[in-house]
Chain A
């Protein structure tokens, strides 16, 4: 999309604290919260985002190492929010938290990336065959489809910018093999402004894509009424997750979170998978990156990577980009949902994301909450998960974004703030148990601590598609498991002799 060019301005650095810099502008220069800027250090330009504004000064978090940044250095403010570039070519890619394609970066700069380098998220050279779906004179609503591009097994829909206030009139359109930044159409906006359209558009990552579309009745949020099938019995039967729903997998180190998420990604009944590897160890992420292109996809016959996007911000990468990475992943998920796809986003792990927030919050000297996490941790967690959901898109198709976040509570302590905030937000809790993992139980989901609020919510679906008594039978089985655990505990005290034969059979 070609939009009006934002006005760029400059500021000066007046303080540096780790990845946080304090900047000052002159009296007539406004600064916007979440505005993107570049710290100029010699020939390097370090990407940064405004976090807090106070009159003529602002705190910016820098997404790179701040070594060598000095008071007096210049900051270029872009007037743009931190945004993701959306368009064909995202699938099968591995990005960092700011949507830099890592393979392309390594190809250009080598494996040891210098500071301040960027590569466009979408391949600028590649040609895509655009097939128009509308004609000159047609009126298309914001988010409406003007044509498609084949991308692997999918048809990637090219849509009218989501932030248009009303229907646009197509004044010119062309098809053929074109690059992502080439003009494919022109339209007149509802305010009579002529604009050009390319296959890509930018969207601020912290703002939900469908927000304005829903407000203006071009899209509609639907109540999740179908489960996703993960092909893992304990989840599908006892602790189902709705398509467009939310779930979390808390578990201590070594309990099998990564194996479980990998299998969920592989076998779930979703079209597109987005993995946000957030603050995990590099070795673990490398395993995922190496494994996915080799893993046969049971749904398409290709590889799992063909319909996957990996956003990767390991524990060794700058902490500020880790905080942003989860929003980048969600924005991609929302973008594919707008096309009517069913998307699964797995965030591994939200604890590391929260730790990144804690670091930044500490540097900003905000009043700390429990365990020094920021006081707004709970609302931040909720803001993230509430972007999941089922949506009726402007073209009438239905898409969904299902979110599963893993949580890594230190020492397996589920009482810590991140786990507790997550539990108050998600509707499925798949608690992994170190004890079960130690006893080689896979998946190590403990049925006695896990729960799902979707079992009743999806009752009608289960009745229609499985069995009229499904929910009742599952609940009776859960009761039996609890009963069995009680008897097992009793046996630990009294021995086998102390219980009746009936209890023994249970």
Chain B
């Protein structure tokens, strides 16, 4: 959803250059392929809700800005807590 949807009325999210798409896709692929560990479905739901919010904020942040780097780090940190291992390709 965070990749398929775009905000047509947001100047940054409406237009995503190819290199940024590549970076976003690589991270998303890594996040999807990760083997997560959750106590129950509620924890999984809570994780994905938070992840979605962070990813949306990342989409809204200008490419290369401090916000861009910060949201990316927050996404990775959150995922790492549940078993995601960041690889150099991602």
Using a CB–CB cutoff of 8 Å, the interface residues on chain A facing chain B are: 229, 231-234, 236-238, 256, 259-260, 263, 266-267, 298, 441-443, 445, 447, 466-467, 473, 477, 480, 496, 501, 504-505
Contact = CB atoms under 8 A, between A and B. Distances in A.
Contact of B18 (A236, A263, A501): A236
7 A-B pairs closest in CB distance? A231-B15, A267-B15, A229-B18, A234-B4, A442-B8, A504-B41, A466-B22
Contacts of A256: 8
A501 B40 contact: yes
Given A263-B14, A298-B15, A496-B41, A236 B21 contact: yes
Contacts of B16: 231-233
A505 B38 contact: yes
Interface in B10-66: 14-18, 21-22, 24-26, 28-29, 32, 36, 38, 40-41, 44, 48
Contacts of B6: 232-234, 442-443
Contact of B7 (A237, A266, A442): A442
A477 B25 CA distance: 10
A492 B4 CA distance: 22
A442 B6 CA distance: 6
Interface of B: 3-8, 14-18, 21-22, 24-26, 28-29, 32, 36, 38, 40-41, 44, 48
A69 B48 CA distance: 69
A241 to B, nearest CB: 13
A477 B32 contact: yes
A56 B45 CA distance: 77
B4 to A, nearest CB: 5
Given A229-B17, A229-B18, A442 B5 contact: yes
A504 B45 CA distance: 9
8 contacts: A231-B16, A256-B8, A260-B8, A263-B8, A442-B7, A467-B22, A501-B44, A505-B44
A237 B8 contact: no
Contacts of B14: 231, 263, 267
B82 to A, nearest CB: 10
A473 B21 contact: no
Nearest to A474: B25
Contacts of A231: 14-17
Given A236-B21, A442-B8, A501 B41 contact: yes
A447 B14 CA distance: 18
A478 to B, nearest CB: 11
A169 B3 CA distance: 57
Contacts of B38: 501, 505
Nearest to A232: B6
Contacts of B21: 233, 236-237
Contacts of B32: 477, 480
A79 B54 CA distance: 66
Given A234-B4, A442-B8, 16 more contacts: A231-B15, A231-B17, A233-B16, A233-B24, A234-B3, A237-B3, A237-B25, A260-B8, A263-B8, A263-B14, A267-B14, A441-B5, A443-B8, A477-B32, A480-B32, A501-B44
A447 B5 CA distance: 11
B41 A259 contact: no
Nearest to A262: B8
A268 to B, nearest CB: 10
Contacts of A504: 41, 44
A5 B90 CA distance: 66
Contacts of B7: 442
Contact of A477 (B29, B40, B44, B48): B29
Contacts of B41: 496, 501, 504
